[in-house]
Amino acid sequence: MKHLIANWKMNFVNLDAWLKDFDLNNISEEIQVVICPNYLDIKDFYKTTLKTHQQISIGAQNLSSETEGAFTCQISGKMLKNIGVSYSIVGHSESRLQGEDDETILNKLQTAFHCDLIPILCIGEDQHEYSKGRTEKKIKHQLTENLFPLQNLSNNILIAYEPIYAIGSGIAVQNEHLEEVSLLIKDLVRENLGTDFTLIYGGSVNSESAKNLAKVDGIDGFLVGNASLDPKEFANIALSLEQ
Ligand code: PEP
């Protein structure tokens, strides 16, 4: 099963118009499509997709590390689950930039599992780290702090490799780099958790770059920002995953 995930971030999307133009008929059933709208649109989106596009799952762009209580402004995993959410992004670089630290991300992963949500853990180096040859160090650090303390992991998890310099830049990483990092992540997770997981890539994926990126062994899907706002473009990315 491959995954194609849309992160709509804080963009206005006309749900009905988007769904009307998103043609699932041409997309293989072997691809799980997940849409992450803003929190306010989740309920409407869930109700509409139940009627028109049952194969689409809903994801949240984040969740609280707490399950319930006096946490002003937070949205719990249980609340998300109650309105039809099945997945949640955790540790997106844009959330980390706003002050989310490693311990919080670890707690969010734990909470996601507890609430029966499938987490999509985002990791990746920034431009400075990449140019100094510190990609491996950064990936090891993030996996060690965010994921490896969760021993006996029996639930589903997706790991999205998202190099920060590729996000929103219009330039996806080279396949050689993606291959190297994909092997690194797989080896580290196998050694430290011995568990199965799905590895996906995110960072300027569009219908053009997807054709090439989909050739990388071990990459089982994409997390897509900008290009997912256009339903036809997003559907074309799915076609690359079928290769
Ligand atoms: C993202 O923000 O996770 C992302 C992949 O964005 P974009 O596709 O716009 O680079």
Q: Is the pLDDT of residue 62 over 90?
A: yes
- The average pLDDT across 2-28 equals 94
Angle of the 135-146 helix axis to the 175-193 helix axis, nearest 10: 40
Angle of the 102-114 helix axis to the 135-146 helix axis, nearest 10: 50
Which one is catalytic: 92, 94, 100, 129? Answer: 92
Give 154's pLDDT tier (boundaries 50, 70, 90). Answer: low
Q: DSSP strand E in the chain: where?
A: 2-7, 31-36, 56-60, 85-90, 118-123, 158-161, 198-202, 221-224
Q: Are 169 and 130 in contact (CB under 8 A)?
A: no
* CA–centroid distance, residue 223 to ligand 1 (Å): 7
Q: Name the pTM for this structure.
A: 0.97
162 catalytic? Reply is yes
Range scoring the smallest mean pLDDT among 65-74, 175-184, 205-214, 234-243: 234-243
* CA–centroid distance, residue 177 to ligand 1 (Å): 18
145 catalytic? Reply is no
Provide the 10 A C-beta neighbour count for residue 136: 14
CA-closest residue to ligand 1 atom 1:
225
Give 153's pLDDT tier (boundaries 50, 70, 90). Answer: confident
Contacts 24+ apart (CB under 8 A), 63-72: 63/88, 63/90, 63/108, 63/111, 63/112, 63/115, 63/117, 64/108, 64/111, 65/104, 65/107, 65/108, 65/110, 65/111, 66/111, 67/111, 67/114, 67/115
Residue 37 has what pLDDT?
98
Q: Which atom of ligand 1 is nearest to the CA of 223?
A: 5
- The average pLDDT across 83-88 equals 98
Measured from CB, residues less than 6 Å from any atom of ligand 1 are: 7, 162, 167-168, 202-205, 223-227
- The average pLDDT across 69-73 equals 97
Percent of the chain with pLDDT over 90: 91
- The average pLDDT across 146-162 equals 90
Percent of the chain with pLDDT over 70: 100
Give 58's pLDDT tier (boundaries 50, 70, 90). Answer: very high
Residue 195 has what pLDDT?
86
* CA–centroid distance, residue 195 to ligand 1 (Å): 27
Query: Probe ligand 1: pick from 61, 96, 223, max atoms within 8 Å of CB?
Result: 223
The CATH code that applies to domain 2-240 is: 3.20.20.70
Sign of CA pseudo-dihedral 37, 42, 44, 47: positive
Residue 196 has what pLDDT?
85
* CA–centroid distance, residue 73 to ligand 1 (Å): 25
195 or 79, higher pLDDT? 79
Which one is catalytic: 94, 100, 125, 162? Answer: 162
Residue 202 has what pLDDT?
98
